[in-house]
Structure 1
Amino acid sequence: MELHKDKLGLVGLTAIVFGSIIGGAVYNLPQNLASVSAIGPSILSWCITGAGILFLALTFKILADKRPDLNSGIYQYAEEGFGNYIGFNMAWGYWMAAAMGNVALAVLLNDAFGYFFPVLLNHGIETILFGSCFIWIMFFIVSAGIRGASIINTVISILKFLSITLIIGILLTHDKTHLWEGDFWGKSQNIGTIADQIRNSMFITLWAFIGIEGAVIVANRARKKSDVGKASVIGFLCSLVIYLLISTLSYGALPRAEMATLSDPSIGYVLKALVGQWGIVYIACAVIVSLLGGWISWTIIVSEVPSTAARLKIMPRFLAHENKNESPTYALFCSSILM
């Protein structure tokens, strides 16, 4: 679709990729990885996963550069290669998965707010009302315009990046290398062989990069088609560095066995052990900011999937309708109802 007045630049596209990748999972990495791996296998799992996802990001870049006419998301690649039926299943399946992912974000955000409002942790009617309210808040934000929502997401992504930078700074200044250098590979910790630790860690590290395709999904709104591939690579590299630093430095903050028993968000309890109670409060606020940004990114994505698929005539045409702000309101409304 080439009629959009307001296009997304490289920064906006990168923020969508970064925002959709970095959600709430980064704050749970210390416990998740410590429960299955020592620091050495953990680092190797990030390197292996990172190499694989880098090839995927580069594939997106090559496709965007070589075939700028295919600007309607990864499902158009499927349609181009295998026909309408496969394209439809790709679009439908991705749409359903993304919508259900937003429901998971609602639960995570509920639990993050639950630190300040414990009644939300009962997961009763309060959680249903809380999640429903935020689903429709996101609806109104995105229906006011994709570009406006992208600007909000970019601001939140910057705040998210700065908050994570502070976390990394605290971990660096409190690093105790003796906690992991004595058993770098976990051979004496009864957590399996090195191969087992790498395999178990990769179940976590691979999942962490869901959202790498964000810029491809909104490619039709890109100011320059070449920015789509660049945004995928930049967003991936920023995310990989953050994941690697957070998970690795945490091993130097607390003993692995102790870290493996922490509650979510585990990085909050790591900081609490290092700097006191304000550490967990800070992380609770950071998680809220991160999840809000991630939810905006995924709301943009979940509205674009059926909308662009409808323009390709592989989903019902009414889903392609846009309001005066050039937001796919019918697709967005159906997605919100689904959630």
Structure 2
Amino acid sequence: MAEPQSNSSEQKLSLGALIALVVGSMIGSGIFALPSSFGRATGALGGLIAWSIAGVGMLFLAFVFQTLSRRKPELNSGIYAYAKAGFGEYAGFASAAGYWMGCCLADVACLVLIKATMGQFFPIFGDGTTPTAIAAASALLWGVHFLILRGIKEAAALNTIATYAKLVPILLFIIIVVFAFKADVFAQNFWGGEDATFANVSSQVRNTMLVTVFVFVGIEGASVYSRYAKNRNDVGIATVTGFLGVLCLLVLVTMLSYGILPRPELAALAKPSMAGVLEAIVGHWGKVFISVGLLISVLGNYLSWSLLAAEVVHSAAVNHTMPSFLARENNKKVPVGALWLTNIAIQMFLLVTYFAEYAFNLALKMTSSMTLIPYLLVAAYGLKLAWTGETYGTDSRSRFLDCIRAGIATIYAAGMIYAGGRALLLLAALLYGPGTALFVIARLEQKKTAFTIIEAIMFGAILVAAGIGLYSLATGIISI
């Protein structure tokens, strides 16, 4: 069922605002940590290969979002609606819930990194998980909550300003590093300090793949907010344009850093590692400059994720896949029920970071793991649409091209889930299992059977995986 179009014209978003949502969602904490994240995992060659794989895979996923926005304009908040339209109620719920939890975890990563950055200048914040840091992060969490309650357009406008502001330090970093680039250091880092063999390079590449997924999460920003677009054609344009721009920045930041410091020194840099690279070139002011830029960037990124998380849950509730209280809006058209649930969940995840040894890395990997499943369902729906020929009529050429694009995107998403490993899937099941209670409540509200036979089998498999994950945590096989 299509979502009611009840939004006033004042709440509609322009192409520029939609692009800002995509860019603002993608550029956050991840880009500022790339030099050390890649330095720990791979040399320059492995980095080039990893970005090539990720760039192609995510570009074709962007094409799928673009195609679906044109061929299925009645489906709003695509990341959820496409999964439901293609594979049924529970698949739609799983996509919405997984994406929502991924957004919540991304916000946790943002909050931890904000406080960890401040911890470099004020030791009381430590690595971002001290009691003081968690208290300060909680205050920020609820401050943003009440800001969003003032209206989606106001929050989106603030996000647009933050998006432009965060680009300034990144672009300045790239310009300075270009002039300081040392070809001999880059050559030393080319193979990653290991033997020049296919096995070593392939291992390095695999170690970077979840990092690349994390920095691309947010590519669906315009699609999730499609119901607010002034022009539905802008959704696909914003997705591809925003992606290509961000990809260029990510590759430049990563690869140029290999020409500044040897790989072991890159790997040892504290977060945000871009600050350490710039400090090595220009001195202490570079570290301060990037740290301030990171705070602006991550605050904007945090706002983007808060908007996306609430929106996808709200849309699922409007379409009766989640409980009706999550469909409530205030007089500013803000999804208040979804926003409260989102921020309560973030608060709970934030408290758990106190007990996590590497809270930021855990949140980063779990965000990637939770969002890959919705990505896989979107890509598979695009493949299904092209395969069956629905909406294509006699346009066999477009159908063939879209089938190829969606097929590549599907293979990429499935491959990234495999690369993430068994542990992350088990931890994801621990969230999906209890989260299914929301689906059951929604079905009971409609006086419908909770699951079809196939859905019951799917849920049973999730419960088994959740049980294994819980046992693995209890026995230390998996640690957080």
TMscore range, shorter length: over 0.9
Of 127, 131, 138, 1:125 maps to 131
Could you tell me which residue of structure 2 aligns to residue 110 of structure 1? 115
Q: Where does 1:272-287 land on structure 2 (aligned, <5 Å)?
A: 272-287=279-294
Establish whether residue 225 from structure 1 lines up as the match of residue 228 from structure 2: no
* Other-structure match for 2:152: 146
Structure 2 residues not aligned, in runs of 5+ = 347-480
Q: Which segment is superposed worse, 288-297 or 110-119?
A: 110-119
Contact 1:311 1:320 in 2 (8 A): yes
Q: Which amino acid aligns with 2:321?
A: I
Match of 2:75 in 1: 70
Gaps of 5+ in 1: none
Q: What displacement does 1:183 show? A: 6.0
In structure 2, what is the equivalent of residue 251 of structure 1? 258
| TM-fit CA distance, 1:281 | 0.5
Provide the residue aligned with 1:308 in structure 2. Answer: 315
What is the TM-score normalised by the length of structure 2?
A: 0.68
Task: Select the structure with the greater relative contact order (CA < 8 A; seq sep ≥ 6).
Answer: 1
Q: Which amino acid aligns with 2:130?
A: G
What is the deviation of 1:66? 0.8
CA contact (8 A) 1:310 1:317 kept: yes
> Is the partner of 1:70 in helix, strand or coil?
coil
CA contact (8 A) 1:115 1:284 kept: no
Query: For 1:97 and 1:296, how far apart are their aligned partners in 2?
Result: 14
The answer (yes or no) to whether the contact 1:187–1:193 under 8 Å persists in 2 is no
Deviation of residue 264 (structure 1)? 1.5
After TM superposition, give the deviation of residue 190 of structure 1 in Å: 8.3
Which amino acid is the alignment partner of residue 171 of structure 2? T
User: How far apart are residue 58 of structure 1 and its match?
Assistant: 0.4
Distance 1:147 1:162 in 2: 24
CA contact (8 A) 1:8 1:147 kept: yes
Q: CA RMSD in A?
A: 1.8
Aligned positions, number = 339
State the identity %: 39
The amino acid of 1:3's aligned partner reads: S
Contact 1:14 1:215 survives alignment (8 Å): yes
User: 1:207: how far off?
Assistant: 2.7
Is this contact kept in 1: 2:194–2:200, CA < 8 A? Answer: no
1:217–1:305 CA contact under 8 A, matched in 2: yes
Inter-CA distance 325–130: structure 2 relative to 1 (3 Å threshold): same
Aligned runs of 1:1-16 on 2, under 5 Å? 1-5=4-8, 6-16=11-21
Aligned match of 1:56: 61
Seen in structure 2, the aligned counterparts of structure 1 residues 83 and 183 have a Cα distance that, compared at 3 Å, is closer
The structure having more radius of gyration, on CA atoms, is 2
CA shift digits 1:132-160 (9 cap, x unpaired): 11111111121111111111001110011
Say if 1:146 and 1:163 are closer, same or farther in 2 by CA, change over 3 A: same
The answer on whether the counterparts of 2:279 and 2:285 sit within 8 Å (CA) in structure 1 is yes
Deviations along 1:41-82, whole A, 9 cap, x unmatched?
211211111000000000000000111001133111111112
Matched position secondary structure for 1:4 = coil
Give 1:185's match in structure 2, choosing from 176, 188, 191: 191
Counterpart among 141, 152, 162 of residue 135 in structure 1: 141
Q: 1:187 to 1:106 in 2, by over 3 A?
A: closer
- Are residues 118 and 182 of structure 1, via their aligned partners in 2, closer, same or farther at CA, if it must alter by over 3 Å? closer
TM-score under structure 1 length normalisation? 0.95
Partners of 2:107 and 2:81 in 1: how far apart? 23
